[in-house]
Amino acid sequence: MSRTPLNDMIRALARRDLDTVDALAVEIGQLGVADGLRLVGAAFAVAVHRHFGPDATPTDVSAFVAGARDLYPDDESLPRLEMEGLIRAALGEYDLVDNIPAETALGAELFILGHLLITTPLTPTELDEFMAEAEELAEEHR
């Protein structure tokens, strides 16, 4: 398993190490890591599938997004419909992301991924397994 700034950032999210997340976000922005963005999308998809499972409904997704946004009531930058669309796309409704700008999608995916990792703590072994699954999925979509 290779270590990249994005890999390290996802691990920092899981550890709730927000200072490291912020520092790595700056580093990633400076590097312009295009391949690594695929890893974020893959980690997002893996986390969404693990959290929601195959029987999730749009109502389940909407309630989850509302709950996550409620934690940050003053943050107007959390786009509810886009976040719901990204989650539902990860669950199979792919056309819901067609009109979401890439920058909006990336920010929403990182927010949701971070929220899922923080609210569902993983052991170091589980985190390694999660990252391996995300890296495998990212490689499949190369």
Task: State the pLDDT at residue 33.
Answer: 52
CA–CA distance, 137 with 125 (Å, rounded to integer): 18
Sequence ranges of the domains in the chain: 5-140
Residue 4, pLDDT > 80, answer no
Report CA 20 to chain centroid distance, whole Å: 16
Cα 110 to Cα 9, 55, distances in angstroms: 10, 23
Q: What average pLDDT does this structure show over 70-83?
A: 82
The mean pLDDT value for 56-81 works out to 88
pLDDT at 43 > cutoff 70: yes
Whole-model pTM? 0.82
82: closest CA among 97, 67, 69, 93?
97
